[in-house]
Amino acid sequence: MDFPQNMSMEAAFALAEAEAKLDAALQESRERFEQAIIPNRLNEDWRFGRPHKYATALAELLQSSLLSHGVATVLHAEEAAVRITAEDDDLRQTEMLMPTIGSDAMLGMHLKRFGQGYALYIEESTTEPIVITYRGGELYTPATFIMVAPGVKAHVIEHHIGSPGSTMFATRNIQVAEGAALKVELTSKGFEHYMCITNIQNMGGKVSHLTAHEDSAWVREETVAEIYTAGADTRLFSANHLGGASVLDQHTKQIHHVGEATSDLLYKNVLDGKATATFAGNIYVAPGAHNTDAYQSNRNMLLSENATTNSLPGLEILADKVRCSHGSASAPLDEEQLFYLCSRGIPQYEAQKLVAQGFLEDVLSRFNKDEQ
Amino acid sequence: MSLIIKNLCARVKDGADILNGINLEIPSGEVHAIMGPNGSGKSTLSKVLCGHPDYEVTGGSVSLDGQDLLAMSVDERSRAGLFLAFQYPVEVPGVTNANFMRAAMQARLPKGEDVDAVSFYKELRGRMKQLGMDTKFTARAVNEGFSGGEKKRNDILQMMMLQPSYAILDETDSGLDVDALRIVSDGVNAMRAPFRSFLVITHYKRLLDYIHPDVVHILSQGKIVKTGGFELVDHIENHGFDFLKTTKE
């Protein structure tokens, strides 16, 4: 290792220690990818995710000779956006260190295809939202990195757009520095298979993160939100209207490494037809992370008797003086609300649509109310 | 033109019989009041007329301007001219008052025609002013977090916007303070017209002092047991419903 000439001995030791830590973490990651197996039913994190069908199909595609291909565009980013290449070793290392929720094998396969997508280095507050769009073909494996500098306010919108028979497997790394504020929304639409692994690292800023998926046969979403600094505020939202035989498999972790910080999650789904939604969320409060506020709520509205929901909220609290709660509820459409709307002449189908939109509306309004 | 109810019998689905042969005719332009003790079937009658799914019609017929009301779906009944101001207006989270009303108006237009947004909002705000409602309520979710009185006013606002031919007011006076009662009653009275009828369900004279009925009916055990003029209201106010027991005996 080469040290700058004017570096103090103390700083040189600290740098060497940090480098050693990184090497060890990378080595650990290499080992986890080597040991990882394609998810199956015995994997608790894939229990309701039909791994025999979807994970296997995705893995086969990722391991095939098919090239990852898609079109990536970015708007209103000025100098902040950089197109990722296969030579970006620092970003590749960041992806290597990403936590997953039962999908190490899949992340390992994504890494082998690393080199597509955008990195946003946001050092000045944005006036307009930065919009990233990934349009995928048969197989597309983009990565997004969003890094927001201290005190900067930003709004980022990501659209992931597919076509019939298309597959996308995306990763997203979001880092928010102290005093920064980031609103970030992700929409996906029109895939046969869609998987997304997101890691949010909050270093003392405010993050509001919203996802909305529509018109895909299968969606697997893993979101790990980590809190590293007191005062951090992380809010996770998701609102989805599912129909047909679509499958939405959402997994979240809110990890409080330190105390005096807040995380809040609200995931809501409306399910029609034979749709299935699974939510498995965990709040982890590390030892010593006192005065943590962490909340988690999953709500589902069922428009059809054939729709299915699996909701598995969880808490793991290893600190004192915390305020944590979790809850889930799934219920059919409220018949009284439907009757009220119909009694004003609104046809049943329209009334049902209004009630369903209303059910999801508070997710969107809470996200929209959050300041950038 | 009239609402004609003949020998209407209904029960809670898979439950007890509540309406046991109602006969009632409300010609256009008239205001009828229904009074009766708790559990006599007043609210059930209003819900059955509007097609509430919790109730099952077991006999009789209802004709609305010559059309078979009972053969229509809930929304068709509304578009045919029937309106119910609910005893307990329902909260619909996430659906704004304006969007709700607009959807209801849109449902009345022929295919391909759209509600004119400018005139719609102008009328909505004007009606709200008439009812003493803050226009901010247009952006609030339907009845969510509203006080009892605000909910009732909101129902009357809907009635004013939809201009039904037959309006049923189910205990609209409950939960209203004196001032709100007057404002709501003024709103209803302003809508009285030769082509519009009202069926006012209430326990108390105070509403009928404002909305003076042409005919008063007493409902007991799912049947209309007495019909008369305003003197019946006075009688009930002074003596209660005890006379019904005497009548039966």
> Cα torsion at A78, A73, A174, A239 (round to 10°)?
120
- Which chain B positions have a beta carbon within 8 Å of A369's beta carbon? none
CB-CB under 8 Å, A362 with B90: no
Kindly tell me if the per-residue pLDDT of B248 is higher than 60.
no
Distance from CA of A362 to the nearest CA of B (A): 6
The pLDDT value given to residue A14: 84
Q: Could you identify the residue written with the tokens 């296969």?
A: A86
> Quick one: tokens of B5?
């109810």
Q: Could you identify the residue written with the tokens 């003790």?
A: B37
Q: Per the domain annotation, does A107 fall within a domain? A: yes
- Rounded Cα–Cα distance for residues B84 and B89 (Å): 10
B46 C-beta neighbours (distance < 10 Å), count: 21
The pLDDT value given to residue A235: 98
The pLDDT value given to residue B249: 39
Mark out the alpha helices in A36-130 (DSSP H runs). Answer: 54-63, 89-96, 104-112
Preferred mutation among A344, A350, A364 to probe B, highest tally of B CBs within 10 A: A344
CB-CB under 8 Å, A340 with B90: yes
Preferred mutation among A333, A343, A361 to probe B, highest tally of B CBs within 10 A: A343
- Rounded Cα–Cα distance for residues A186 and A235 (Å): 14
CB-CB under 8 Å, B90 with A350: no
A179 or A18, which is more confident: A179
The pLDDT value given to residue B247: 52
Q: Give me chain A's average pLDDT, please.
A: 94
> Quick one: tokens of A75?
């708007």
Q: Per the domain annotation, does A205 fall within a domain? A: yes
The pLDDT value given to residue B176: 85
The pLDDT value given to residue B189: 93
Q: Single out the residue of A264, A270, A234 nearest to residue A326, CA to CA.
A: A264
Distance from CA of A338 to the nearest CA of B (A): 9
> Quick one: tokens of B232?
């019946």
Kindly tell me if the per-residue pLDDT of A315 is higher than 50.
yes
Segments of chain A assigned E as strands: 70-75, 81-83, 117-122, 130-136, 139-140, 143-148, 153-161, 167-176, 181-189, 193-202, 206-214, 218-227, 233-242, 247-256, 262-271, 276-285, 293-302, 308-317, 323-332
- Residue pLDDT, tens place only, B113-144: 999 999 999 999 999 999 989 999 999 999 99
Distances (CA, A) of A58 to A69, A96, A134: 15, 19, 18
CB-CB under 8 Å, A360 with B93: no
Residue type at A98?
M
Kindly tell me if the per-residue pLDDT of A126 is higher than 50.
yes
Q: Per the domain annotation, does A27 fall within a domain? A: no
Q: Per the domain annotation, does A349 fall within a domain? A: no
Give mean pLDDT, residues B209-224. 94
Percent of chain A exceeding pLDDT 90 equals 83
CB-CB under 8 Å, A354 with B92: yes
Q: Per the domain annotation, does A204 fall within a domain? A: yes
Q: Is B236 exposed, middle or buried (0-12, 13-18, 19+ CB in 10 A)?
A: buried
- Which chain B positions have a beta carbon within 8 Å of A335's beta carbon? 53
- Residue pLDDT, tens place only, B143-168: 999 988 899 999 999 999 999 999 99
Give mean pLDDT, residues A69-81. 92
Domain count, chain A: 1
Q: Per the domain annotation, does A346 fall within a domain? A: no
B84, B103, B142: residue with CB nearest A350: B103
Give mean pLDDT, residues B9-27. 94
CB-CB under 8 Å, A357 with B50: no
Domain of A69, in residue numbers? 34-333
The pLDDT value given to residue B246: 58
Distance from CA of B247 to the nearest CA of A (A): 37
Q: Which residues of B touch A (CB under 8 A)?
A: 50-53, 73-75, 77-79, 83-84, 86, 89-95, 99-100, 103-104, 107-108, 141-142, 158, 162
B74, B103, B108: residue with CB nearest A343: B74
CB-CB under 8 Å, B92 with A344: no
Q: Which residues of A touch B (CB under 8 A)?
A: 335-337, 339-348, 350-351, 354-355, 357-362
CB-CB under 8 Å, A350 with B78: no
- Which chain B positions have a beta carbon within 8 Å of A346's beta carbon? 75, 100, 103-104, 107
> Quick one: tokens of B69?
């009301």
CB-CB under 8 Å, B73 with A343: no
By the 8 A CB rule, do A234 and A205 touch? Answer: no
- Rounded Cα–Cα distance for residues B77 and B93 (Å): 24
Distances (CA, A) of A49 to A194, A277, A303: 13, 9, 21
- Residues with Cβ within 8 Å of A56's Cβ and at least 6 positions away in sequence, in order, are A38
The pLDDT value given to residue A127: 87
Give me the domains of chain B, ranges plus CATH numbers: 2-248 (3.40.50.300)
- Rounded Cα–Cα distance for residues A241 and A354 (Å): 12
Give mean pLDDT, residues B195-203. 94
Q: Per the domain annotation, does A23 fall within a domain? A: no
- Rounded Cα–Cα distance for residues B31 and B199 (Å): 6
CB-CB under 8 Å, B84 with A354: no
- Residue pLDDT, tens place only, A276-299: 999 999 999 999 999 999 999 999
The pLDDT value given to residue A119: 97
The pLDDT value given to residue A48: 86
- Rounded Cα–Cα distance for residues B59 and B10 (Å): 7
Kindly tell me if the per-residue pLDDT of A226 is higher than 80.
yes
The pLDDT value given to residue A17: 86
Cα distance from N-terminal residue to C-terminal residue, chain A: 41
Kindly tell me if the per-residue pLDDT of B243 is higher than 80.
no
Distances (CA, A) of B102 to B115, B119, B156: 7, 11, 16
CB-CB under 8 Å, A355 with B78: no
- Residue pLDDT, tens place only, A239-285: 999 999 999 999 999 999 999 999 999 999 999 999 999 999 999 99
**Which chain B residue shows the shortest CA-CA distance from A339?**
B52
The pLDDT value given to residue A306: 96
Q: Find the angle CA(A151)-CA(A154)-CA(A157) to the nearest 5 degrees.
A: 155
The pLDDT value given to residue A33: 86
- Which chain A positions have a beta carbon within 8 Å of B51's beta carbon? 343
- Rounded Cα–Cα distance for residues A159 and A211 (Å): 10
Give mean pLDDT, residues A128-138. 95
By the 8 A CB rule, do A178 and A204 touch? Answer: yes
Kindly tell me if the per-residue pLDDT of B14 is higher than 90.
no
Give mean pLDDT, residues B57-83. 97
Q: Give me chain B's average pLDDT, please.
A: 93
- Which chain B positions have a beta carbon within 8 Å of A239's beta carbon? none
Q: Give the DSSP H or E segment for B158.
A: helix B148-162
- Residue pLDDT, tens place only, B19-67: 999 999 999 999 999 999 989 999 999 999 999 999 999 999 999 999 9
SS3 breakdown of chain A: % helix, strand, coil, rounded to 5? 25, 40, 35
- Which chain A positions have a beta carbon within 8 Å of B92's beta carbon? 337, 340-341, 354-355, 358
The pLDDT value given to residue A2: 61
Q: Per the domain annotation, does A26 fall within a domain? A: no
The pLDDT value given to residue A25: 84
